[in-house]
Amino acid sequence: MEKKPENRGMIDTWIDKHRSIYSAATRHAFVVSIRDGSVDLSSFRTWLGQDYLFVRGFVPFVASVLIRACKDSGESSDMEVVLGGLASLNDEIEWFKREGSKWDVDFSTVVPQNANQEYRRFLDALMSSEVKYAVIMTAFWAIEAVYQESFAHCLEDGNKTPVGLTGACHRWGNDGFKQYCSSVKNIAERCLENASGEVLVEAEDVLVRVLEHEVAFWEMSRGGQ
Ligand SMILES: Cc1ncc(CO)c(N)n1
């Protein structure tokens, strides 16, 4: 076997290339406002309700990633990584319900806004069996990594994150979640190493589109209502 090159993978190369949209997604004004304590609580409540709906729609997507990890990966540990992600979504839904009562957000009356619906449609399209495993894994990594990077930022030194919001920040900003994102990234990178030029083009495009959807999602949250 050839030795794996020690240089950086495709994902880091793409992030460098698309640095401005990557920063827009991971250092959005909404996230920065959580970190500096200036966050508008109506925005937080909007985010909470919309993200609860998003996560419910994310479950079937992750379930489809799990099936692909079992069938298409050729690497038995992929399944375990994705299964761990799916299991933590179970806790996450319970967490959302507790936060919903804490912040007085009644999820049964929350209507998905445009950005949420469009993100959902994008995920639905990725669930097609036509989409290559490397492309799905790249998207999956990006979706998780944006939240990891964003919320970890709210916990870094010098933060003024309001105490009531640190629960949300720990949920995605904790080291276990960081580790999990890094495992997903390794899977994606391994697949990309062997991918055709065509698949690479598609994976890069999907990565950028995830970042765009994430920015739109933060924008929607900041808009309140
Ligand atoms: C919008 C959005 N992106 C990503 C995640 C999880 O990483 C989430 N809960 N919501």
Exposed / middle / buried, residue 206 (Cβ in 10 Å: 0-12, 13-18, 19+): buried
Model pLDDT, residue 158? 87
According to the model, what pLDDT value does residue 174 have? 96
pLDDT at 224 over 70: no
How many Cβ atoms are within 10 Å of 66's Cβ, its own excluded? 17
Q: Separation of 199 CA from ligand 1 center, angstroms? A: 24
Say yes or no to pLDDT of 2 above 70: no
Q: Whose C-alpha lies nearest to ligand 1, atom 6?
A: 144
96 CB under 6 A from ligand 1? Answer: no
Tell me if residue 214 is catalytic.
yes
- The answer, yes or no, to whether residue 76 has pLDDT greater than 90, is no
What's the rounded Cα separation, in Å, for the pair 61 and 75? Answer: 20
Residue 73 pLDDT class (50, 70, 90 cuts): confident
Percentage of the chain surpassing pLDDT 90? 87
pLDDT at residue 74, as a whole number: 80
The 10 Å Cβ neighbour count of residue 62 is: 21
- Give the position of tokens 């999820």: 107
Can you give the pLDDT at residue 8?
Answer: 82
Which pLDDT belongs to residue 100?
A: 96
Q: Distance, CA 137 to ligand 1 centroid (Å)? A: 15
